[in-house]
Structures are given as C-alpha cells and as structure tokens.
Amino acid sequence: MQREGGKNQFITCPACSGSGENESGFSCKNCAGLGTGSFNFGRFLYWGPKFGIAVIELDHFRKKAHLLINIVAFFIAFLGLSSLFFWVYSAQSLGADMGAFFFWRDKSVLILIFWISVFADMFIYYRLSEEQRKKHKIKAVKRDERTKGQKIPNNWDELKALKEKRKINVAGGFGEKTFSLIEDAYILANKLKHGSLDPLHLFYVALSDSQVGSLFTRLNVDPKKLISKVKFHIEKKEKTNTSLKISLELKEALINAYTDAYMLYAKKVNPIHLIIPLMKEEKILEEILYDVEVDTVKIFNVMKWFMIDKMMIENYEAYRKAARFKPSTNMDRAYTSVATPFLNQIAYDLTVAAKWGKLEMCVSRDEEIEAAFQAFESGKNGVLLIGPPGVGKRAVIHGVAQLMVSEDVPFMFKDKRLVEIDVAGLVSGANPAQAEERLIGAINEVSRAGNIIIYIENIQNIMGISAGTEESLDLAEVLANALDRAGIYCFATVTKQNYVKYVENSPLDHVVANVEIEEPEGNKAIQIIESKITALEGRYGVYFSYNAIENVVMLSDKLIHDRYLPEKAIDILNSIAVKVVKEKGQGAVVTKDDIATVISEITKIPTTKLTKSEGKDLLKLEEKIHGRMIGQEEAVSMVSNSLRRARANLREGKRPIANFLFAGPTGVGKTELAKSVSEIYFGSESYMTRLDMSEYQHPNSVVKMIGSADGVQGYLTEKVRRSPYSLVLLDELEKAHPDILNLFLQVMDDGRLTDGQGRTIDFTNSIIIATSNAGSLYIQKEVQNGTDIDTIKERLINEHLNQVMRPELINRFDGVVVFKPLTIANVEDITRLLLRKSAGLLDQKGIGLKVHDNAIAKLAAAGFDPKFGARPLRRLLQDRIDNQVANKLLSEQLARRDTVYINENAEVEVIKGKLL
C-alpha cells in the first residue's frame, strides 16, 4: 500500500542560500527564516529547527528531568498502592471499620500515603496524555488542501503571505529516535570541526539504529565494512573553524524523508526513512552502497517488507478487534439469518476462517480487490477472477474475506459471510440431475439467508453438467439465472485458457464482470513474496536475505516459463529452505547464490555469477573451438566475440543469446562449429536441437514446428520449452516454406514464440544458428580469385541470399558468417584431428595408435573433394582405417597393449606389445 505523492520541487532563498540566517546569525528577512522548502500537496514543507550544542544539551537535560519526574511519580503511585493493600490487610486482621478508609477519620499514615498517590496517578495520566498528544506525527492531507486549483507561490513574498496551515515544519513529523540521531550527527560534525552538517554525518549515525541495521542485514551487507567505508569518507572532510550549519542537501533530504514516510502511510519519520533521501543527496553514499551491491530500489523493497510485516500485525490486530462483533456462526449481528443446513455440508466459511486468522494476508492486490468491489457497486451480481494458475486469484478472495471481517467493504457486503462452495462435494456421488438439484437447493438457502456471498473456485468444473434432457440447463446456466434473478452475489475464478474454452460467450459470462489477475512482476512480486517470508523462516528455521528473494523472482521469471509468479518462486523457496537446513543447519542464511544453484539444478541453465576461471575459459574460446575444428578463423572469431558479450550480459535481454547465419559450401565445418559451440558454451552436444529445414517445405509444416490447439506438440517449441538453454541448428534454412521463415522473424527479434496451444516459449537463453548453401559456387570462385572476405559477404547477401530469403530475415541475424572452402592443408589438419579421436577410443581399450606423416598426406589427398569439402574424408577413414581395426580386433589379431601403426602407404599394421 502506498499513497500517491508528488515529487518535491525545492525553492531556496537566494539571500541566505537556504540557511535561513543572515551573516549575523539572525533570521533571514527575505524568507522569514524558512531558508528552503518544497511544495507537495499544496503545502509548503520546510525544516525549522536550528541546532547548537547548548540547545542539544538543554534538550538532553529536559528529557532526563522528565524521566526522573516520571520515575518519582511512578514510585509514589506504587508506594500508595502498596500502602492501600497493606492497610486493607491490617484492617481485616484487626477487624477495623472500613469507613476509616478516609484518612481524616482514622488519621492513618498508610491511607494518607494512598491519597497522595492518587494525585500522583492523576499526574501520571496527565503527563502520558500530553506526551501522546505532543507525539510527533505526520500530518495527513485532506483532498481540499491539495494543489489542484491552488496557485503555487513564485517568490518569497508570496510564500511569507501563505496561510500558516499550509506551512508545515516537517520536524514535527520526526520521531524522537530520529530526532536524536540528527542531534548526534550534529555533535559528531561539531567534534570533527566540520563547517556543515551533511547527509554523510547523519547516515553514519543512522547505522547505529537497530531497524537500519536490520535493513542492511537483510541486504546481506557486512556492517563493519559499510561503517568503515563511511567513516573513511567522513574523516576526509576538510576541517574549519567556522560555525556549524545544516547543509542545504541535508535539509532537502530531511524534507524528502518526510514525504517518503507520508507516502508509505507511516505515522512518523523513522530512521529507516532517512536512508534513501540521504543517498540521493550524497552521491558518495550511492558509490559506497554500489560497492556492496545495494541500490535505492533494493532499500525501498526492504522498507516495504518491514512495512508489510508491520501492517500485517496491525491489520491482524485491527480485524481481530473488529471480529469480536462478527458472529462465529452463520448468524449476522442482528441474529436474523436463516439456517443453511445443506449449504453447510458442501461449503467452507471463509469469513470465520479469516476471523480466527487462518487465512494468509493479501498483499499488493488492492487494485484488483477495488475493481471487484466497483463491479458489484455498478450493478453486477458476480465477479469472475481470470488469471493463470499460481498468480494469486485465491489470495484476492482471502483479501476480500479479511476486509469483510473488518467491515471495510461496500455497504452490500457489510455484515455478510463469504462461503466457498466445494464443487467436488456438490457433484460427488450424484448424477447430473442430482447435482443440479443440489445446486438449486444451495442457491435457495443462500437466497433465503440473505447474508451470504458465495465463492466457486475453478468455475469451469460446473460447466457442461446438465440433467440430460433437451430442455435442461447445465449447472453454470443455473448459477447464471440465480445471479440474474435471485439477487445473490458470487465470486468465481478461472484460468485464461479455461475461460476461453468454457466460459466465454456463455450465459454465465453475460451476468458476471471479469477482473484480470495478472502475474505480478518485479517489485510487486517481490513484495508479495516478502509477506510469506516470516512464515517460511519460522517453519524451517532459516533466514532469507533480500538478495535471495530478489534473485528467486528474477531467475524464476526469466528461466521457468511453464509456471507463474508468485507460486513458482514460493515453491522454490520452500525447496531451498529444506536444502539449506540439511547442508548448513538451522539458523543459516539463504543467499542469492543458494537460489542460483537450485534454479540451475531445476532448469539445467548456469545462473551463477561469472567466475574468474570461467572468464579465462571464455577468453580462450577460439583456442577451445579450434581444438575441435580446423580453419575458418574469421567465423570462429565472430562467434566467439558474440558469445563473450552474451555471457557478460552485454546484449539485449529480449533476444536470443546470438543469431547466426553460416553460409558456405558443404563440408567446410558449418555444422561442426555449431556442435563445438553447443559443447563449449552449454556443456554438451546434447543441448543442440537440429532441424533439417528441407522437411519443412509445405505450408502445413507450421503445425509440425509449433503444434496445434488440439494437443499436437510442436517439435521445435516442445524441445525449447523443456530445454530453453540450448542451441537450435536450422540446417539449410533456405529450403523451408516462407511461413516457417516468418516464425523465425519473431523468434530472432522478440526472443519468444507462441505455440499451437497458446503457450509462450522463451528463446532468450538459446543460440540460433542457421546454415545455408546458397551462393556456394560463388564463394568458392571468389576465394580462389583472392577476393576480400568482406566483399564476398556483401555480394553474397545482396546477390544470392536475397534471392532465397526476405531481407528482413537476413537483417535479424547478428552476423552472416562466410565459410571459405577448405585447402589441402586444412584437410590434412582435419585428418590428424579425426585420427586423434580414433586414438582416444583405442586408448580406452589399452591400444596405442601411431601414424606416419606420409600417411596423413595420402589420406588427406584421397579424402579431399573441392565440391564436398571434408565429408568424403570421414567416409574414407571409416573404410580404410576404422573397418580394418575393427576386423583385427574381432579376429584377435589386435589385443590390449598392442599398437596400431598406419604406415607411409596409409595401411594398417599391428605392432604387438610385450607380454607381462
């Protein structure tokens, strides 16, 4: 919950530069001592107090004197009460006349002390009342006091003429603890002989406050490190002998703290409200907190977390107090309700559950609840909450039940019960006719009772159930008729998919108002989850840092797409809590790294921070790729640079990691480079999904690719949905139907694709590589002619690729990578690479492999074909080497400790090993 507020626009007196004093130390005549201030809600806010060591010491003496007076008064009151008890005990023991209670009759010292204490009691009551009355509070703004229709003064003469009720000294809204911190900051600055009291001084002193300490503890900040950094910068400030004054920046920070506290519905400015305004006014604080990974958004969310916890306690106490007037049965307060015996058998009273605190508090859903109430007030008798599973539709209903208990609802809902009908109980063991009879009976009881609002979860469960005759209505139509005619009120929920499938354009749809319950995002999701943390911490005995909550929202939203916030994040937190307790024990802190580790295990996607060793590996990406493939330096360099940018998060978040088009003749390494990228970047070749685009040449191939509404799964969408962190290889892209190519326009631009069942498939963690043989002969010819590779690429795009692909699709690729034809030297290197792989397989059997240099050259020459690249080489090695080795193994001519020798004629020989 947060008030709407305007941004402070500060006005500073030019005569005194905002200090409020002239050079002689007297009040500035130009601004009447106001110095600086801002307009907000039609009021002029300013900081009034002037500090001095003598003033502060006098204030401390006054507080101590008041404390001493209170202690003496309480002592006299206690002494009087004790005297009364002792006198009563003595009078009963001696049989004295109780009329002697009046001291002038008995002249008892004990009675005299008691009567003196009565005056002390009255004095204590008076002092407590005065302290409560004078307690610092933030003044609320009435609607008629806001700026709408009011002129904002343009100069200090107009400001001085402003009505006093529109001038607010914000110091009146500061709590005693906060005001004491400002005084302590003044003493600190004076002790260090600084010329001005700055935000840095107050921030340093505020770190001693317990609530501020709790805030930074939740943010997982090392307090010693933070205090040390702030202290270092304070000590760097220049010393001076001039009189100490409050800086303009600090005054503005204090005024901003007042408006921030007001917008957060705080009754007074607490130390925690100072942190963000101080950061905004003192840039060095932003840098200090940046170093410990803290910013204003994180601080604000933790403040909201504390506020939510406090409001939950206050709301619980408030509606429990109001609940004393709410009956615990089906009666209303007037005891005029009609009994509902059948409804009680198939229903659950949510208002009774709310009365006894059995429902979780509803957080950050005020707009949705208000929209539902407005729908009822506008004449609708039913509200249908529509949203995906897990977004909090039931939480909204719980929020309504809690508001009904505290009677903070529209008039039509006051003194009513919210009752949930169990659909399973309604239809179980009954045929459709009996189920209809039961529903009609329940509706009749609700109508007669007059104090019941019904709630049906998953309303689609009653759709289509009818008595069976041609004229009969299904249960949903029975409910629709009741809402339209019987004057009853109903809440119901349904998912978006089921709404379209079952409810849309049905009779029920025409009598209810639809309220969308969207998946919460960002700060809203964080605040909803924060409201659950206290229960989780109590249940598991662990402690959640704010960074853990922020990370679970961010990573689950980014990487888990088959479920919705906040449910998926809460389930993950439950799992992590169990894991942390097992690994670290109770009392351990759940950090953002714990979150990243568990989500990595769930999604198989690396989410942890980039380590130094991983950074070094990425810097050597070209070397690693060339360990698998030969040549194509330009292609390898372009791909490596793109992947490094992606891993360092220097890319647009709504696009795939990278989109490449590999163009060139067949057999030159396009597919091999894709496999290398999959193994090195994702960890395995198994993370590569390969599609032969020649299989998608027909218009109906779209269904094969993305599926259909009748349940057919799309090959591509299902692969990526289940493994979003993967490489998609589109082999010979130009052969696909234009409708298929249009799909990839959206994928490469937005990083998502909607499948046939309406699900959004995320491609932002995928690498898309398309290959094309278009222009292969042109590339071969130009490379032989020695044409520059950039010139070849430009002509290839303009004269060849444009003939088979739309220009907008080509422009979606991060790079068009041209693969050059292989040279005989490349083929010789590839031969060595392939033979090394064979050597690895033989080594597992305890067999060695040696190759004569002339054999490499002969095999390369025999396996090289300029038209097909290195592909014939693999077949040649299988025929002349692998097959021969296999035969010798099967015939036992080759055994463990032997060595396979490929001689200068590329023939296989066996060198027998020594017997042990």
Report percent pLDDT > 90 for the chain. Answer: 15
Output 423 or 92, whichever has higher pLDDT.
423
Three-state DSSP at 491 gives: strand
The whole-number pLDDT of residue 336 equals 44
Query: Which of 12-16, 277-281, 331-335, 337-341 bottoms out in mean pLDDT, i.e. has the lowest?
Result: 331-335
Counting DSSP H helices and E strands in the chain, the numbers are 40, 24
Q: Which of 260, 302, 301 is nearest to 278 (CA)?
A: 260
Output 564 or 96, whichever has higher pLDDT.
564
Output 54 or 261, whichever has higher pLDDT.
261
Is-above-0.85 flag for pTM?
no
pLDDT tens sequence across 670-709 = 888 888 888 877 777 888 889 998 899 888 888 888 888 7
- Whether 766 contacts 656, CB under 8 Å: yes
Output 604 or 187, whichever has higher pLDDT.
187
The span from the CA of 571 to the CA of 577, in Å, is 10
The whole-number pLDDT of residue 139 equals 65
pLDDT at 568 over 80: yes
Could you check whether the bond before residue 271 is cis, i.e. omega within 30 degrees of 0? no
Sequential DSSP letters for 618-687: HHTHHHHHHTT--S-HHHHHHHHHHHHHHHTT-S-TTS-SEEEEEES-TTSSHHHHHHHHIIIIISSGGG
The distance between the two most distant Cα atoms of the chain, rounded to a whole number of Å, is: 137
Beta strands in 114-182 (DSSP E): 167-169
Amino acid identity for residue 432 in this structure:
P
Query: Which of 34-43, 175-184, 624-633, 904-913 bottoms out in mean pLDDT, i.e. has the lowest?
Result: 624-633
pLDDT at 36 over 70: yes
**Which are the contacts of 752, defined by CB distance < 8 A and separation ≥ 6?**
654, 746, 760, 761, 762, 763, 764
Q: For strand 245-246 and strand 167-169, is the pairing parallel, antiparallel, or unpaired?
A: unpaired
The whole-number pLDDT of residue 5 equals 47
The whole-number pLDDT of residue 631 equals 67
Output 628 or 817, whichever has higher pLDDT.
817
Q: What is the C-alpha R_g of the chain?
A: 39
Reported confidence tier of residue 86, pLDDT bands at 50, 70, 90: confident
Query: Which of 197-211, 295-309, 341-355, 635-649 bottoms out in mean pLDDT, i.e. has the lowest?
Result: 635-649
Residue 11: φ, ψ to 5° = -120, 125
Three-state DSSP at 29 gives: coil
Reported confidence tier of residue 608, pLDDT bands at 50, 70, 90: low
For residue 494, what is the enclosing H or E element? strand 489-494
The predicted model gives 488-507 an average pLDDT of 88
Q: Which of 277, 256, 28, 7 is nearest to 159 (CA)?
A: 28
pLDDT tens sequence across 245-263 = 888 889 889 999 998 888 8
The predicted model gives 273-285 an average pLDDT of 91
The whole-number pLDDT of residue 611 equals 45
Reported confidence tier of residue 629, pLDDT bands at 50, 70, 90: low
Q: Let me know the angle formed at the C-alpha of 106 by 101 and 108, rounded to the nearest 5 degrees.
A: 85
Specify the DSSP class assigned to residue 361. P
Query: Which of 178-192, 306-320, 453-467 bottoms out in mean pLDDT, i.e. has the lowest?
Result: 306-320
The whole-number pLDDT of residue 566 equals 92
Q: Which of 725, 755, 682 is nearest to 558 (CA)?
A: 725
Task: Work out the number of other CB atoms within 10 angstroms of the CB of residue 251.
Answer: 25
Reported confidence tier of residue 272, pLDDT bands at 50, 70, 90: very high
The span from the CA of 840 to the CA of 411, in Å, is 81
Joined together, the tokens standing for residue 343 give: 């409804």
Reported confidence tier of residue 572, pLDDT bands at 50, 70, 90: very high
pLDDT at 860 over 90: no
Query: Which of 417-421, 584-588, 626-630 bottoms out in mean pLDDT, i.e. has the lowest?
Result: 626-630
Reported confidence tier of residue 146, pLDDT bands at 50, 70, 90: very low
Most confident stretch, 74-83, 275-284, 320-329, 791-800: 275-284
Query: Which of 55-64, 128-137, 441-450, 858-867 bottoms out in mean pLDDT, i.e. has the lowest?
Result: 128-137
The whole-number pLDDT of residue 375 equals 92
- Whether 284 contacts 233, CB under 8 Å: yes
**Which are the contacts of 771, defined by CB distance < 8 A and separation ≥ 6?**
661, 662, 663, 670, 671, 674, 729, 730, 731, 732, 733
The predicted model gives 624-639 an average pLDDT of 72
The whole-number pLDDT of residue 526 equals 92
- Whether 744 contacts 783, CB under 8 Å: no
- Sign of CA pseudo-dihedral 817, 821, 825, 829: positive
The predicted model gives 200-212 an average pLDDT of 92
The whole-number pLDDT of residue 713 equals 84
The whole-number pLDDT of residue 805 equals 84
- Whether 291 contacts 315, CB under 8 Å: no
Output 382 or 469, whichever has higher pLDDT.
382
Reported confidence tier of residue 653, pLDDT bands at 50, 70, 90: low
Sequential DSSP letters for 109-121: HHHHHHHHHHHHH
Output 815 or 386, whichever has higher pLDDT.
386
Task: Work out the number of other CB atoms within 10 angstroms of the CB of residue 233.
Answer: 16
Establish how many alpha carbons lie within 13 A of residue 697's alpha carbon, considering only the half-sphere containing its beta carbon: 6
